[in-house]
Structure 1
Amino acid sequence: MSSYPPSGPPPKTTLRQRLADLRGPAVPPRPLDARALAALAANPGCGRRALLDGAGVDKTALAAALGSPAAFGQSQFAIVRGNSFEARVKDDGGAALLRLVHQHLGTGAEPPGAGARVPDLTAAGPEGRAARTALALREATAAGAWTLLDHPMLALEVAGTPAYLEPDAVVVHPDGRWTVVEIKSFPLIDGSADPAKVGAAARQAAVYVLALETTAEKLASAVVGHTVLLVCPKDFSNLPAAAPVDVRREHSVTRRQLGRLTRVEDLAAALPEGLSFDPARPAEELTEAVSAISAAYAPECLAACELAFHCRERARTADEVTALGRSVRGELGALTTIGKALAAAAGGGDPDDPTSAALHHAARLRAEALEASACPS
């Protein structure tokens, strides 16, 4: 005879349910993209970003609710221009794009003909699209013909949770190689582009290469190229031009940094019950919730994270040296606040600490130099 309520401990909350509770009951998860993963890999010590991204929290809405809205991102004009250029590059079955791949990375293969393969990757949901993409890659590799995969879906496990990524294109060569193609709207002028923009594109492409390698592990005949093709407008026109970009360094760094991330379930387990990042909640409650997760702010976050302005304000309020940059933080060692660093420079630090001694010595030299420059000759 059964009793009610049932005896025994309550059922354990699943990770999926826990992450849904963190987002808020009516907030859909925000999927991770390659740009977010590249930024996450650049700052693996930030548990705050790892948890919020892993839980699918909309950081843009969260930052606005905290009173520190993000002030970066592409303009609507840039998005429209980029979409128009990408459509032109892929027009006519991607013939122009395949010609560029053959020209720069063909390695002696026959040029792609007019009937190059462009498989349909339509499927239900990201899981279905990822499975359909894996099947198309397998079939294209076995066929040994030029194949263009337009916006394939790739899966990559990040901090214990799957992330679904969508590169602009992946090209399968007749010899079985797979090449990631990044299409950007910034120009290639005389064959060169803005180094900062090329670097950002390389870090993003390295994430796609990592995801492709996960799929390629199941196919012994598939090889993922570590040289990606960057396609941009030529000079000041709307004609496509391309340049190969070696992403081996970015690939190695990203793989190592993503591997160092704390698992999302471990970060979530350390939080108190009832905590939520639902943007509909009061700002004071959200501030307390965000403060419950450790952050690793640096000025570089301003160009890569929606919560950077909130984290900067908190770092400044706490007098943390991280607000001055990672290099300064690394040089100061155990002096974790600006106040401690200034005290050490004034001679109030630990005399046995080499960092404190170096600061005090540098402050004395500066004072002597200023005094000498103030004296009339």
Structure 2
Amino acid sequence: MPRHRPVHLPRPTSPPPREEPRAVTLRQRLAELRGPAVAPRPLDARALAALAANPGCKRRALLDGAGVDKAALATALGSPAAFGQSQFAFMRGNAFEAKVKADGGTELMRLLHERLGGPGEPPHDVAVPDLTAAGPEGRAARTALALREATGAGGWALLDHPMLALEVAGSPAYLEPDAVVVHPDGTWTVVEIKSFPMIDGSADAAKVGAAARQSAVYVLALERIAEATDGAEVGHRVLLVCPKDFSNLPAASVVDVRKQRAVTRRQLTRLTRIEDIAAALPEGTTFDPERSPEELDTAVESVAAAYAPECLAACELAFHCRGKARTAGAVEALGRSVRGELGGLTTVGAVLAAAAGKEGDPADPTVAALRRAAALRAEALEGGPACH
């Protein structure tokens, strides 16, 4: 009988993932925006917190997502950033943090037990795992393992400067909180140690808000690890430790970061779509600091910004954006609250014209309020000399 040769059917091949070519294209596009010889600047918690504070700024979202060095870009534009922590403040902050964490974190655990613990004595048997590893990726993996082990052990653990990973715009951002405490019940608490004073039990509201936004980033990163850890739960109340009054003694307060966490999460979701912002840019746009100031100015202005005076304390490009806002007469330069009150009047010129009765609909409540204010001002100025 004739022998039949076996028929070898071709093995079915699975189609490549649809997202992969898109991700590669996005990485290439972001590299072009940075410049061919410019290494990406990694995102940190401060940068992510600043993004959450101004979620409507497409300019910052794109530049941070692309890893552009905004300080170098601002210098090349002729508007260098004039803020930052002084060397003295940096050394003072490090000395205070070392004091808080001395003796295996005894004082830190006392403060945490006082604010977040239950009845009884502060914990004394606290594990302090070694988080040493090669590179940020290795440290992040070692931190995740230490968190799982500490949660499974069912005791107290203090992780000093753990490394957390959070995916931002398709690439990992490595974050380093001051400390994370694991409770016996599996709760993880973020600890932020700051050098600004806490006077009479309260600190500067703006600085506390910045610390809360920064801590919310750490909470989000911890939640990714907690999802894969049995019995783990990330607390939304963080422990803020500051110097008490005008001394170097530590004091602590609890800050609820649920609102900041929600805002930051929405902003990170928006950041994952930076390819939409990049796709709208003119061909050949780049933020390479080696380009001429004129080219860089054109590139920066091709991305919409949402300037506010608060940007001066958080963004390296704030002075450039403020100059442009003032030149254009934009009311944003006066603050978000003023901008919100003025409705459709977007320039200072339009506001003054409406107040003078030259422009605007009298039926518009904003225009009516401006004209009433202008009339009261004129009346006060006319009657001013008679009052002396």
Instruction: Give TM-score scaled by structure 1 length.
Output: 0.88
| Contact in 1 for aligned 2:168/2:272 (Cα 8 Å) | no
Match of 1:347 in 2: 357
Match of 1:240 in 2: 250
Q: CA RMSD in A?
A: 2.6
Match of 1:326 in 2: 336
Q: Percent identity?
A: 77
| Contact in 1 for aligned 2:65/2:271 (Cα 8 Å) | no
The change in CA–CA distance for 1:365 and 1:88 in structure 2 (over 3 A counts) is closer
Match of 2:190 in 1: 180
Q: Is residue 227 from structure 1 mapped to residue 248 from structure 2 by the alignment?
A: no
SS across alignment from 1:28: coil
- Select 2:118's aligned residue among 102, 107, 118: 107
SS across alignment from 1:193: coil
| Contact in 2 for aligned 1:46/1:296 (Cα 8 Å) | yes
1:227-376 matches, within 5 Å, as 227-261=237-271, 263-351=273-361, 352-374=363-385
| Contact in 1 for aligned 2:239/2:253 (Cα 8 Å) | yes
The whole-number CA distance in structure 1 between the counterparts of 2:315 and 2:299 is 18
Query: Any idea what the Cα deviations from partners look like across 1:112-140, whole Å, max 9, x if unmatched?
Result: 334x2222223343333323222211111
The whole-number CA distance in structure 1 between the counterparts of 2:226 and 2:22 is 39
> Which blocks of at least 5 consecutive residues in structure 1 are unaligned?
1-9
The one-letter code matched in structure 2 to 1:295 is A
Cα deviation for residue 111 of structure 1 reads 3.8
The whole-number CA distance in structure 1 between the counterparts of 2:259 and 2:295 is 42
Query: Any idea what the Cα deviations from partners look like across 1:83-134, whole Å, max 9, x if unmatched?
Result: 12222322333333223222322224764334x2222223343333323222
1:161-180 matches, within 5 Å, as 161-180=171-190
Cα deviation for residue 52 of structure 1 reads 0.8
The change in CA–CA distance for 1:376 and 1:242 in structure 2 (over 3 A counts) is closer
- Select 2:83's aligned residue among 54, 72, 85: 72
The whole-number CA distance in structure 2 between the counterparts of 1:50 and 1:113 is 44
The one-letter code matched in structure 1 to 2:375 is R
| Contact in 1 for aligned 2:354/2:367 (Cα 8 Å) | yes
SS across alignment from 1:156: strand
The change in CA–CA distance for 1:236 and 1:332 in structure 2 (over 3 A counts) is closer
The one-letter code matched in structure 1 to 2:27 is R
- Select 2:141's aligned residue among 131, 148, 151: 131
Q: Is residue 205 from structure 1 mapped to residue 243 from structure 2 by the alignment?
A: no
Q: Is residue 56 from structure 1 mapped to residue 64 from structure 2 by the alignment?
A: no
Query: Any idea what the Cα deviations from partners look like across 1:227-275, whole Å, max 9, x if unmatched?
Result: 2112223444434332222333333443345445572222222223332
Q: How many residues align?
A: 367
1:5-154 matches, within 5 Å, as 14-108=25-119, 111-114=122-125, 116-154=126-164
Match of 1:7 in 2: none
- Give the structure with higher Rg (CA): 2
